[in-house]
Amino acid sequence: MIETERLILIPVTKADFDIYKDIMSCPVMSLYLPKEAPYSDEEVFLHIVKRVEHWKQGFGSFIVYLKNEPNIKLGYTGIEVSPNIKCSDIRYGFKKNAQGYGYAYEAARAVLEHTFTLGKHDKIYGVAVKENIPSVKILEKLGMTVDKSTVIYDDKKLVTLSIEKFV
């Protein structure tokens, strides 16, 4: 578990289907996910299974809760090994009503710091659809800069950023 000023982050479990379904089945939110369209319940469940399995590597994704209302799930954030197995990237998604309050940045910053302290990474990447300006701005605010030397997802619509270990 990770705590910030306003948030509690708890490792994802299969019981977190609800928050992933809210985000991944949304026609607007899913435009910025790999499928670029809403995900079916089965696809969401398989996605969660992979998130849970990833924790065997000692790091992974968290569900983000409000500290003062710990039964409210806002979204998810985490760092996982990417398709380019030499690289791990940060991921996040928040429900529409949780956007615009700085929760994504606060949670992502905490996960970034936590993951670097584990000693498994010297660099962490962030990837976003170029048109998803809010997501790109979060990555930049985290201290990431454009990294043209690494290909994580071979898609010209994406921008890859990275940050060196700072903790």
Query: pTM of the prediction?
Result: 0.93
In which band, very low, low, confident or very high, does the pLDDT at 27 lie, cut at 50, 70 and 90?
confident
pLDDT at 32: 83
Provide the residue range defining the domain that includes 82.
Answer: 2-164
Burial class (CB in 10 A: 0-12, 13-18, 19+), 158: middle
Q: Is the confidence at residue 7, as pLDDT, over 90?
A: yes
Q: Mind listing the pLDDT tens digit for each residue in 31-83?
A: 888 888 899 999 999 999 999 999 999 999 999 999 999 899 999 999 999 98
Taking residues 19-27, what's their average pLDDT?
A: 93
Q: DSSP class of residue 101? A: S
Say how many domains are in the chain.
1
> What pLDDT is stored for residue 166 in this prediction?
80
Q: Would the pLDDT of 167 be above 80?
A: no
Q: In Å, what is the CA distance from 43 to each residue of 12, 20, 40, 116?
A: 16, 10, 5, 30
What are 121-148's pLDDT values in tens digits?
999 999 999 989 999 999 999 999 999 9
Q: For the domain that residue 41 is a member of, what is the CATH number?
A: 3.40.630.30
Residues 5, 162: Cα–Cα separation, whole Å: 25
Cβ distance 95 to 22 under 8 Å? Answer: yes
- State the pLDDT at residue 21: 95
Strands 88-94 and 123-129, sheet pairing: parallel
Mean pLDDT of all residues belonging to the chain: 94
